[in-house]
Amino acid sequence: MIVSGSDEAGRGSVIGPLVIATVTINQEDEEKFKEIGVKDSKKLSPRKREVISKVIKENCISYKVSYLKPKVIDSYVWKRIKMKTLNYLEAKVISRHIIKLSPDIAYVDSPYSKPETFKVMIKKLIGNKNTKIFSANKAEDKWVEVACASIIAKVERDKAVRKIAKKYGFFGSGYPSDKRTRNFLRKVISKSDKCDFVRWSWKTIDKLSLRQLKLTEK
């Protein structure tokens, strides 16, 4: 039986893409992936993630990675038309992965506190596909397939972030809670037309823009 797992990396970041990965493996190989050290990507060092990501790619049946640019993310966050939120965008991408990879069972990490909501959303998007969908919070701790996807998504997201930093300068983790990231954003707020790597729909930008305006007025 072919089983898939889907997860994302960079959802809360204000800089860089949201990366979504789906990995398919034979269900009978689950223990093998656990033995090579597959677990939630947050519990692994960056170097360990890179090593295990390579092993996953070499030993899985198939995998798919999607990079959602800030411009696409902003269009969903700003519009909020008929449930077309960031959660919907994530479900849409995962659904495409499932349709393409055709697993018998698909495990997905849910952004909703009630995983059933995400499951129903994906079921509608995949249509008549005979794939059984299971969704859970912290799914990477529950299913090794999701942990595989978590690792690949994180490694690919880190690569994308390094490219941005190399071109525009160091900006910390890219998350709103990081002071280094906020300081970097203050410098680029006036250059929104050139900084397509920033998620301008994030509330962090509004707060920093307002603060910048007040400082300018003084």
pLDDT in tens, 112-124: 999 999 999 999 9
Residue 119 and residue 154 in one domain: yes
Residue 74 and residue 178 in one domain: no
- CA dist 170 and 185 (Å) reads 11
CB 188 within 8 A of CB 76: no
Mean pLDDT of all residues in 130-156: 97
- CA dist 94 and 118 (Å) reads 11
**Token digits for 25?**
């493996």
Residue 207 and residue 137 in one domain: no
Mean pLDDT of all residues in 138-160: 97
**Token digits for 211?**
């603060």
Residue 25 and residue 98 in one domain: yes
CATH assignment at residue 138: 3.30.420.10
Point out the domain boundary residue: 149, 164, 179.
164
Question: To the nearest whole number, what is the mean pLDDT of the chain?
Answer: 91
**What digits encode the pLDDT tens for the residues 127-139?**
988 999 999 999 9
CB 149 within 8 A of CB 171: no
User: Sheet of 105-109: strands edge to edge?
Assistant: 62-68, 18-26, 2-9, 105-109, 132-136
pTM over 0.85: yes
Residue 157 and residue 183 in one domain: no
Q: What is the largest CA-CA distance in the chain?
A: 66
Q: Which residue is listed with tokens 């071109």? A: 167
What percent of the chain has a predicted confidence (pLDDT) above 90? 78
Residue 91 and residue 182 in one domain: no
The sign one gets for the Cα dihedral 78, 82, 85, 88 is negative
Q: Which residues are paired to 7 by β-bridges?
A: 21
- CA dist 140 and 106 (Å) reads 13
Residue 134 and residue 211 in one domain: no
Q: Are strands 132-136 and 18-26 parallel, antiparallel or unpaired?
A: unpaired
Q: Which residue is listed with tokens 């995998």? A: 63
**What digits encode the pLDDT tens for the residues 173-200?**
999 999 999 999 888 877 666 688 999 8
Residue 149 and residue 183 in one domain: no
Q: What are phi and psi of 174, to 5 degrees?
A: 90, 0
User: Which residues neighbour 182 within 8 Å (Cβ) at sequence distance 6 or greater?
Assistant: 176, 204, 208
CATH assignment at residue 195: 1.10.10
Residue 95 and residue 194 in one domain: no
Point out the domain boundary residue: 141, 164, 187.
164
Residue 17 and residue 113 in one domain: yes
**What digits encode the pLDDT tens for the residues 13-67?**
999 999 999 999 999 999 999 999 999 898 999 999 999 999 999 999 999 999 9
**Token digits for 185?**
């954003």
**Domain span at 14:** 2-164
Could you give the number of structural domains in the chain? Answer: 2
**Torsion angle of C-alpha atoms 10, 190, 84, 88, degrees rounded to 10:** 0
Residue 93 and residue 174 in one domain: no
Residue 104 and residue 26 in one domain: yes
**Token digits for 116?**
């059933």
| Predicted pLDDT of residue 216 | 46
User: Which residues neighbour 160 within 8 Å (Cβ) at sequence distance 6 or greater?
Assistant: 16, 17, 19, 67
| Predicted pLDDT of residue 162 | 96
| Predicted pLDDT of residue 195 | 83
